[in-house]
A and B are shown apart, each in its own frame.
Chain A
C-alpha cells in the first residue's frame, strides 16, 4: 500500500531564516506530487506541483520554491522566511490527473 510522510510536524522559525520541508511517498512510482498551504481561516491553496523528477510548476508567485530530487521526494524550501509564510503546509500525491488524491499529515509552520 502507499503511504505519504511529511516532516517535521511542527516548526517555529524566525523571520529571515531558511526553510526545508520534506515529503516522501512510499509504495508507488512516478506519482504526481503537490504542495498546498492552508492559512488560518482560509481554504487550501496550491503552491507547487510536479509530474516528474526535476519538473516543478508554480501556481502563485511567492517566497517559496520546490524541488523534486528523487521520484518520490518533494521538498519545499525558502531562503528567507517572511511572517506571511506561516501556515499549515500539506503534501499530496495522486497517480494521475483524475485519480484520488492522498494527503500527508501536514507541517504547522510558525514564523516569528
Chain B
C-alpha cells in the first residue's frame, strides 16, 4: 500500500528565505506526482505536476524535483513571501491495478508560515 509522508509538518521562515518542502512515497510505481497549495478553508490549487518520466518541473519561483527510484520529491520555493503562507500537499497517482482510476494518495501536508 502506498504511503506518502511530508516532512516537516510545519515550517516558519522569515521573508526572503528559500523554502524546501519534502515528500516521500513508498511505492515507486507511479504515474505522476502533484504538488498543491491549500489556503485555510479553501480548496486545493495545483502548483506543479511531474510525470514519472520527468526529473523536475519549474513554474516561476517554484521548482519541484522527482527521484522515483528513491521515492522522493522536493518542492523549492525561492525568495519566500508572506503570501506563500499556506499548507502544501503532495500527492501521487499509482499505476497498479489497485490504484483505483487515478486516485490521488496524499501526504498530510506541510504548513508554511512566512513572516515579514
Q: Which residues of A are at the interface with B, using a C-beta cutoff of 8 A?
A: 6, 32, 34, 36, 42-44, 46, 49, 51, 57, 59, 88, 90, 92, 94, 96-106, 108
Contact = CB atoms under 8 A, between A and B. Distances in A.
Given A51-B101, A106-B43, 18 more contacts: A6-B43, A34-B102, A34-B104, A44-B89, A46-B100, A57-B100, A59-B100, A88-B41, A90-B43, A92-B44, A92-B104, A100-B49, A101-B46, A103-B43, A103-B45, A103-B46, A106-B41, A106-B42
B23 to A, nearest CB: 13
A43 B36 CA distance: 13
Interface of B: 31-32, 34, 36, 41-46, 49, 51, 89, 91, 93, 100-104, 106-109
A32 to B, nearest CB: 6
B102 A97 contact: yes
Chain B at the A interface: mostly helix, strand, loop or mixed? strand
B53 to A, nearest CB: 11
Nearest to A36: B104
A90 B106 CA distance: 13
Nearest to B107: A43
Contacts of A44: 89, 91, 104, 106
22 contacts: A32-B102, A34-B102, A42-B108, A43-B107, A44-B89, A44-B104, A44-B106, A46-B100, A49-B102, A59-B100, A90-B43, A90-B44, A92-B104, A96-B102, A97-B93, A97-B101, A98-B31, A98-B102, A100-B34, A100-B49, A103-B44, A106-B42
